[in-house]
Amino acid sequence: MILEGGEPIGRVEPTTRNVRKMLEPLMGREEVWRAMNFPLPVLVSAKESERLDIDTGERMDFFEEMLVRVFCEDPLEEPMRPLLVMLQFLDDEKGELGLVVAVRTHDLSLGNVEVSGVEAPAFLSWKYHGQPCERVSKFIGNSGYPHITVDRVWEIIDRQEKGLGVVKDENKMIPFPSAQMRKKRLVEMGLM
């Protein structure tokens, strides 16, 4: 729980201001972002988020739109009734990108965790937020967090390059979300 003047505070809305304020202490802390594999935050509306619960085609479109937003727009522009989606990038056993997972949260007051000797908001971490919540969700009979494989990411990039993507703007082409590209984007966003 986040403390303010020694007192616990309630729910913290995922607004642009709140997300930036909570990430401020991590400015210049590349080791923290690296330890979490450079996750990327995106604010989405509750309505947009509902699309993740639908079939794979809708999910592909959603992930395409989120990748465009993360790499080509302002991903922290605040929509109506915002939810935070942390795009988590999980490596396979070879240490290469294997999955992109969309971890949603409507409350930023999940507490802090220590990452590389620094306190970081738990909502950033797959290990301390995404993975435990996914396990609970599966345990009670629900599915895990929506995700796409790296092959699907390449399909999205290929569709865009051919002008067949959901987002048909040649000025908004998605790069492959390598660790280097994610790090570069966090710097551009003023988060690292």
pLDDT tens-digit series, residues 150-188: 999 999 999 888 888 887 777 888 899 999 999 999 999
Pairing state between β 118-121 and 97-105: unpaired
What H or E segment, with its residue span, contains residue 44? strand 40-45
Distance CA 144, CA 136 (A): 9
Of 1-10, 42-51, 87-96, which has the strongest mean pLDDT? 87-96
The structural domains of the chain, with segments of one domain joined by +, span 3-185
For the stretch 57-106, pLDDT in tens is 567 888 888 899 999 999 998 888 888 889 999 998 898 999 998 888 87
Buried b (16+ CB within 10 A) or exposed e, 120-157: bbbbbbbebbbbebbeeeeeeeeeebbbbebebbeebb
Rounded-to-integer distance, Cα 158 and Cα 152, Å: 10
Whole-Å CA distances, 191 to 27, 39, 131, 164, 177? 6, 11, 23, 32, 17
Closest CA relative to residue 31, chosen from 122, 130, 120 = 120
How far is the C-alpha of 43 from the C-alpha of 84, rounded, in Å? 5
Strands 97-105 and 40-45: what pairing? unpaired
- The distance between the two most distant Cα atoms of the chain, rounded to a whole number of Å, is 55
Please tell me the predicted confidence (pLDDT) of residue 78: 84
- This prediction has a pTM of 0.84
